[in-house]
Every structure is written in C-alpha cells, then in structure tokens.
Amino acid sequence: MEEDRVEEAKKTILIVDDEKPIVDILVYNLQKEGYNTIEANDGETGIEMAFSQKPDLILLDIMLPKVDGLTVCKRIRNSLNIPIIMISAKDEEIDKILGLELGADDYITKPFSVRELVARVKANLRKAELNSSNTIPNNENDNTKSEGHDKTITIGELFINLDKFEVRVRNKPIELTLREFEVLRYLANQPGQVVTREALLEKVWGYEYYGDIRTVDVTIRRIREKIELDTSSPKLLITKRGVGYYLSSKGKGEE
C-alpha cells in the first residue's frame, strides 16, 4: 500500500527526442531523482503522448522527425498547461525567442549539464504546483487590490488581473505566455524597484542556482514587444543598465 502511494506521488516526465544516447541519459538521471519517464522519438508521437498521458512536464527537442519541436510546443500549449522545457543543439537567439513565444517555459542547449537540467525540471515542476494552487508569490511591497473576488494590480496604464491571468495596457488586452505573465506580475508587485536578472531567475523561474540569464532578457524583450508603443524607447518596462529591470511606478514611463 505504501509503495502504491509513493508511485502515485511520482511526477511523470515526457521526453521527446530522437537521439537515443540523450534519451538514455535523461531517463537514467530522472528516474534516479524519483521521476517516472515516458518517451517519444518523433514530434507526432510526442503530441499524441502529451494528450493521452498528460505528463507533469515535457522535455522537448527542437530538431525532430515528422513534426518539429516548435510546432509540437505550439500544438500542446494551445490545449494543455504543462511545463515545457525546450532542448536544442542550437544556441541561436531566434530558436530561443520562438520557443518562448510559442509557450515554452524554459530553454536549455546541448551539451547541457545533467545537474542543471535536473534543477530546471525541479524548478518548473515546483512553479507548476504553485500556479495550480493559485499561490501568488508574496512581496514586501505587495500592491494588489481586490475587485470583487479577483486580485488586481493597477499601475498607470497597466492593469493585471492575477486570478484570471489577464493583462491590459491602455485598455487593450495583451496576450502573454504564462512565464511572461509571471515576470510582469513579479515586477508589478514592486513598481519602481530594480530587480536583477539573477533575482528574476531565482524568484520567477525558481532555479536553485543561476542558469542562463539570457532567458530573462528574451522574456523581457517579448513582454516589451507586447506592452510598449515603442520598444526602442520603453515607457513601462525599463532597463537599469548594468543592474536589471523595473516597471515604471507611474505606469507611463519616468518623465
């Protein structure tokens, strides 16, 4: 009976990769950490298994037979809210941008440290559990308000509904990925306060140690493209050169 309960508590990770040596390494190390693993060797099978097995997390390679990883990510994300970590041999900015834009939660390039990958798996699973329980990270300068039954944040022209995961800028609805929403929410809870990229990795991505800070830069860039009128001269999401990022406390830029 006890063994059955332990088995039920295990998280299941779907590995979608056509390189058997990589799959074998991932299976061995993830199972050693106590996870169940299931495998797909092409994009088409990966999509089918994601919908039929509903894993707790997906490790998804970009270069796949039949259906490429970016398309797989898009199809899965349209229907399922499962953490997706993209894996690729390419270290090109365009791949990272596309992966994050299509809804990937994280990105890691081959060759990767197994220790780092496992840490990212743990962090993304932990974040998924927090989101499923509607837990909002507490901040010292929490400026949330309640409108009816919903918690909201309003900073000038920026409006965030925390319960409905909705964002409006200048009364225009903005479509953000879950990760983009989490970054914006974290910054909005402390307007005017500069947050380093390392701090964002730790607080939003939940890494146990610092990963690739370019992931933060790409996410910030994508948010700006959606909320700013002119990304070359941002008025809402500001860069403090050499330090980090912050949301203008006026919500209209610092005059």
Average pLDDT for 230-241: 91
Give the best-scoring range by mean pLDDT among 11-25, 106-120, 158-172.
11-25
Q: Is the pLDDT of residue 206 over 90?
A: no
110 and 87 Cβ atoms separated by less than 8 Å: yes
Token pair of 29 as six digits: 């190390």
Burial class (CB in 10 A: 0-12, 13-18, 19+), 188: buried
pLDDT value, residue 183: 92
Q: How confident is the prediction for the chain on average, in pLDDT?
A: 82
pLDDT bin (cut points 50, 70, 90) of residue 105 is confident
> Tens digit of pLDDT for each residue in 30-59?
999 999 999 999 999 999 999 999 999 999
Helix intervals (H) in the chain: 2-9, 20-32, 43-53, 69-77, 93-101, 114-132, 178-188, 197-200, 214-227
| Residue with the two structure tokens 């596309």 | 98
Instruction: Considering only residues 177 and 68, tell me which one the structure prediction assigns the higher pLDDT.
Output: 68
Q: Is the pLDDT of residue 108 over 80?
A: yes
The one-letter amino acid code at 73 reads C
pLDDT value at 134 more than 60 = no
pTM over 0.85: no
Between CA 215 and CA 58 the distance in angstroms is 18
Q: What confidence score (pLDDT) does residue 106 get?
A: 84
> What is the tens place of the pLDDT at every residue in 55-91?
999 999 999 999 999 999 989 988 888 899 998 876 6
DSSP 106: E
What is d(CA 229, CA 98) in angstroms, rounded to the nearest whole number? 21
92-99 long-range contacts, CB within 8 A, separation 24+: 93/214, 93/218, 95/62, 95/70, 96/214, 96/215, 96/218, 97/218, 97/221, 97/222, 98/70, 99/62, 99/69, 99/70, 99/73
Region class of 206: left (phi > 0), else alpha (psi between -120 and 50), else beta = left
Q: DSSP assignment, residue 221? A: H
Q: Which residue has the higher pLDDT, 217 or 205?
A: 217
CA gap 44, 16 in Å, rounded: 10
Q: Considering Cα of 164, then 170, then 175, then 177, what sign does the dihedral take? A: negative
| Confidence (pLDDT) at 6 | 44
Q: Is the pLDDT of residue 143 over 70?
A: no
Q: Spell out the domains of the chain, with CATH numbers in brackets.
A: 2-132 (3.40.50.2300), 145-247 (1.10.10.10)
Q: Taking a C-beta distance cutoff of 8 angstroms, is the pair 125, 100 a contact?
A: no
pLDDT at 167: 92
Q: Which two tokens stand for residue 40?
A: 């797909």
Question: How confident is the model at residue 126, as a pLDDT?
Answer: 81
